[in-house]
Amino acid sequence: MPRVSVVMAVYNAAKYLHESVESVLAQTFRDLELIIVDDASTDASAKILDAFEDPRIRVITHARNQGPAASRNDGIAAALGEFVAIMDADDISAPSRLEVQVGFLDSHSDVGLVGCAVYDNIDDRGSTLYTSYLPEDNDTIRQTLVEKWCFLHPSIMFRREVCERVGGYRSDFALAEDHDFILRVLDQYKAQNLPIKLVRYRINPTGLSVTGHEYIDALGMAAMHLAQQRRKGDTEDLSAELNTLVQRTHTRKTLGFWGRVARRWRDSYYAANRYYGFGCRALCAGNLEAARRCFARSLSTNWLFVKSWICLLLSCFPGLVERVRFVFAASSRYEEEQRGYCQRSAQGGAPTRPLAD
């Protein structure tokens, strides 16, 4: 019986799947099983999985697409391990990820869930775009959750009893089921983010975090509203939140041709702006190569994103960047906060202000 069950939900992830699976199989912690739930993929995902001969892999195949929440629940239900680690099919785990997280949970019996506070955002080619930082300790996480999300979902590990107690992922919150699940875990357990890079998180322009960002944001807010009700000791009004979500879902599914065109444009603009933000922060940090890479990715996503054209040109003239630094005031403040956070973490101190992307 393995100590750790890694659960990976897969749907049409052939482009990145092999690398993601290999990163789990190459863990320094060997006492694991990898449960992969193929949610009725229509690409080459099934063939890629069939090619693996590692006995630690178990594949569950859905006859019809059921969504990530149901896929993860099925994987967890089949898990044999004491701990469950979540992994996405397009991200990459560091070799020591499971070893570090198991060691932490073994020595902190009061913590139910652990993630990572530092991670690299990578593009679809695997190049690092920017390093993100999240709050670490349980108290800071709870304070920060009022305003910002504090977890990288594919980095979390939790005790299997935690999932059994809170009831697993709820399909009602599909696309933001991780927000709802972790918030319900925090109702009853402590959580921690470790100040180590344990996962490389892929920013995929065609992924759900981009193409469904507006809907995901609405779902996240609904999950937060319910969490606030529970924290006050009230019974969560799930039906009221779901009625609002049903209306959003109906609107999303009934868009006409021009509505779909407008949505695709908004999605590409959102992705371009996200890459642009990474680029501005890298520019302020003096990392011109990374900045140019981010601006180029921004333009490949939406070539009409004018600010990225300007900044790409600007990044070729380091002296000019210093002269117009005031233009990037927000990015400069963010970068200074990040540097202060890193210094305090290195000294063993807590940040004076919680940080998150």
The C-alpha angle 38, 200, 276, rounded to 5 degrees, equals: 110
Q: In total, how many domains does the chain have?
A: 2
What one-letter code names the amino acid at 260? R
Three-point CA angle 80, 86, 89, nearest 5°: 115
pLDDT at 250: 54
Q: Is residue 19 part of a domain?
A: yes
Interval 48-96: pLDDT, tens: 999 999 999 999 999 999 999 999 999 999 999 999 999 999 999 999 9
Do both 87 and 157 map to the same domain? yes
Same-domain status, 293 and 158: no
Q: How far apart are the first and last CA of the chain?
A: 38
Query: From start to end of 23-104, where are the E strands?
Result: 32-38, 57-61, 83-88, 92-93
The reply to whether 112 and 185 lie within a common domain is yes
Q: Which of 201, 226, 251 is the last residue of a domain?
A: 226
Where is the domain boundary, 226, 244, 259?
226
Is residue 245 in some structural domain? no
89 token code pair: 């099919």
Residues 86 and 167 in one domain: yes
- Per the domain annotation, does 15 fall within a domain? yes
Q: Is the pLDDT of residue 351 over 80?
A: no
Both 218 and 295 in one domain: the answer is: no
Mean per-residue pLDDT for 247-254? 60
- Is 182 within the bounds of a domain? yes
- Tens digit of each residue's pLDDT (9 = 90 or more) over 270-285: 888 888 888 888 887 7
Flag whether 255 is in a domain.
no
Domain-embedded: residue 235: no
| Mean pLDDT to the nearest integer, 196-218 | 72
Q: What percent of the chain has pLDDT over 90?
A: 49
Q: Tell me if 238 is assigned to some domain.
A: no
Please give the pLDDT value at position 331.
Answer: 52
Q: Is 236 exposed, middle or buried (0-12, 13-18, 19+ CB in 10 A)?
A: middle
CATH number reported for the structural domain that contains residue 202 in this entry? 3.90.550.10
What's the pTM? Answer: 0.80
Structural domain containing residue 326: 270-346
Nearest to 335 by CA among 288, 278, 295, 256: 278
Does one domain contain both 312 and 218? no
Whether 56 and 201 share a structural domain: yes
**What's the pLDDT at 252?**
59
- Across 145-173, average pLDDT: 90
**185 and 110, same structural domain?**
yes
Indicate if 208 and 288 belong to the same structural domain. no
Question: What average pLDDT does the chain have?
Answer: 84
Question: Are 128 and 27 in the same domain?
Answer: yes
Residue 265 lies in a domain: no
If one counts every other C-beta atom within 10 angstroms of the C-beta of residue 112, the result is 21
Question: pLDDT at position 259, please?
Answer: 76
Q: What is the pLDDT of residue 4?
A: 98
Ramachandran assignment for 47, one of left (phi > 0), alpha (psi -120 to 50 degrees), beta (any other): alpha
pLDDT tens figures, 94-146: 999 999 999 999 999 999 999 999 999 998 888 888 888 899 999 999 888 87
275 and 221 in a common domain: no
Q: With cut-offs at 50, 70 and 90, classify the pLDDT of residue 336.
A: low
- Do 276 and 217 share a domain, yes or no? no
Whole-angstrom distance, CA of residue 128 vs CA of residue 122 = 4
